[in-house]
Amino acid sequence: MGFPSPITREQVAARILAGDNLIILRNKVIRVPPSWLATHPGGPLAILHFVGRDATDEVDAFHSDATLERIDRYTIGTVDVGEHGWLSFVPPIMSGWVRRITADGSKQWYNEASPFNSETDTAPSPSTQFLLVERTEDPPRPGPTLETLQPPPTPISPKIYAQHSAAYKVLHKRVIDAGLYKTRYITGYGPEIVRYTLLAILSIVAYRYGWFITSAFFLGLFWHQVTFTAHDLGHVGVTHDWTIDRLLGIFIADLLGGLSIGWWHLPFFAVSPVFFNSLWSSYYKRVMAFDAIAKIFIPIQHKLFYVIMCFARFNLYVLSYTFLAKHAFEPRKAVGGRWWWWGEVICLGLFFCWYSSLLMAIGNWKTALGYLVVSHVVTSPLHIQIVLSHFSRSTEDFGPVESFPARQLRTTVDVICSPKIEFIHGGLHLQVTHHLFPRLPRHNLREASMLVKEFAKEHNLEYAEFGFFEGNGEVRGVLKQVADQVKIVGMVADANIRDALKK
């Protein structure tokens, strides 16, 4: 399709300020229709955080070819991207602005939070970092302005990031040409299915013989293992068909594991000292308070790490069900309509039936409690693994200018392990490559990681990896660092109060 003349940067900004959700893909301007925003399978926030930005690499990484063609249909024109690519705007949501339906049915800007930028450019809190805090007074204007959209000055070079981005496209092509998007059903998932079946049989047999704690142990191992396949399905990384992967995902995650495939997340720790303020989460739509409870627990978070990890699965239940409750009255998803929601709710109901019958049939509440605890605690290495791959790395935000590959490499780390025992880590140990190519079938990640390592070396980017035990040490180190800083902040505050009282 030909377009008359390129849309100017000012026109793009004006349309965003008027409420259009425009993203830049290569040199094309895509207008995401409001209907897609509400019903997007990856959620509206994924799109809102890319309004005004070049989202080419992210969009290529997250979508199937068929979806990419569909996205292309929403092109409304082209832009001149310049020598170093499109200089991204700051999406309105990152400075606290969202669109809301008013009483008369029209959509207006609403300021849900205030931006909190660091005035100085320090390592833990760069000037490019966009954090939000609770809004305490009415905004001076009824909507975002041209100024709000301008990215803050950054010491990072757009030229270098443009080079990374161009090289990522070449890398992605190499991964595709090497056939790494082809799922290894027999050699990859074959052994997985045998392993899952064996663990399930061991759990059932032990239960039948009355060896309840042994049965709970194998059930925990079963959950630990199947979660990796649920994770693959959540990323549409098995059949690459959203409907089939979602159906399989609902069966495994919801029916067998009691968790929502539409949502799973991490237990919470503070990993950045910037958190010593209460922050507004544009994801949870609430203030993440640095309150009295946080002040008690954060100073000892490194000591509680493994204890919390043991019970992390309970947190996943809470978050899963909250997610489904919030989506109960949402519009139909563009893919999957509403059946995905009903499928999840019904399968979760069935999960509670089979698991609670299992506990009740034990006939002794102490053993039943032991069964509940053991089956959940055994899954804890999975949670530790997820934390390792993310929390020991940088949490700084270099703003919308940083390229996708540079950000993914900077914020993720691999856990080194022999291919013979990698089923224990279930592919999540190759997190760097997974974050660069989320739809890539898990059993091809090792081969792809070789190409990513070459890419990182060529572009002077760090491909971080550590051993499992070293990684545990790193994470506890980060948690302790932040804990110590909270203690210091507390001591300074106490000294100030004492001084004030003396005066």
Three-state DSSP string of 22-85: EEEECCEEEECCHHHHHHCCCCHHHHHCCCCCECHHHHHHHCCHHHHHHHHCCEEEECCCCCCC
41 in Cβ contact with 335 (< 8 Å): yes
Q: Which is nearer to ligand HEM, 67 or 239 (CB)?
A: 67
Contact with ligand HEM (CB under 6 A): which of 17, 22, 47, 384? 47
Q: Which is nearer to ligand HEM, 63 or 480 (CB)?
A: 63
Query: What track of x and - describes contact with ligand HEM for positions 50 through 79 (by CB under 6 A)?
Result: x----x--xx--xxx--x--xx--x-----
Q: Which is nearer to ligand HEM, 15 or 63 (CB)?
A: 63
Ranges within 420-459 binding ligand HEM (CB under 6 A):
438-439
CA distance 265 to 255: 18
320 in Cβ contact with 264 (< 8 Å): yes
Q: Which is nearer to ligand HEM, 333 or 476 (CB)?
A: 333
The one segment of 12-20, 229-237, 275-283, 380-388 that binds ligand HEM by CB under 6 A: 229-237
CA 100-284-318 angle, 5° bins: 135
Sign for the pseudo-dihedral over CA of 469, 473, 479, 483: positive
Q: Which is nearer to ligand HEM, 38 or 372 (CB)?
A: 38
DSSP 3-state of 113: strand
Ranges within 327-386 binding ligand HEM (CB under 6 A):
335
Q: Annotate 95-116 with b (16+ C-beta within 10 A) or e (fewer).
A: bbbbbeeeeeeeeebebbbbbb
Minimum CB–partner distance for residue 31 and ligand HEM (Å) = 8
In the numeric block, which tokens belong to residue 84?
A: 């170093």
36 binds ligand HEM (CB under 6 A): yes
The one segment of 38-46, 168-176, 177-185, 209-217 that binds ligand HEM by CB under 6 A: 38-46
State the residue number with the nearest CB to ligand HEM.
Answer: 42
Number of residues that bind ligand HEM (CB under 6 A): 27
Instruction: Give the length of the chain.
Output: 503
Q: Which is nearer to ligand HEM, 97 or 404 (CB)?
A: 404
Minimum CB–partner distance for residue 48 and ligand HEM (Å) = 9
242 binds ligand HEM (CB under 6 A): yes
CA distance 52 to 12: 8
Of the candidates 148, 178, 245, 190, which has an alpha carbon nearest to the alpha carbon of residue 446? 178
42 binds ligand HEM (CB under 6 A): yes
CA distance 403 to 6: 24
Contact with ligand HEM (CB under 6 A): which of 46, 198, 204, 310? 46
Q: Which is nearer to ligand HEM, 221 or 448 (CB)?
A: 448
Q: Which is nearer to ligand HEM, 29 or 226 (CB)?
A: 29
Query: Based on the number of CB atoms within 10 Å of its own CB, is 410 exposed (0-12), middle (13-18) or buried (19 or more)?
Result: middle
Phi, psi of 158 (to 5 degrees): -60, -30
45 binds ligand HEM (CB under 6 A): no
Q: Which residues bind ligand HEM (CB under 6 A)?
A: 23, 30, 32, 36, 40-42, 46-47, 50, 55, 58-59, 62-64, 67, 70-71, 74, 234-236, 242, 335, 438-439
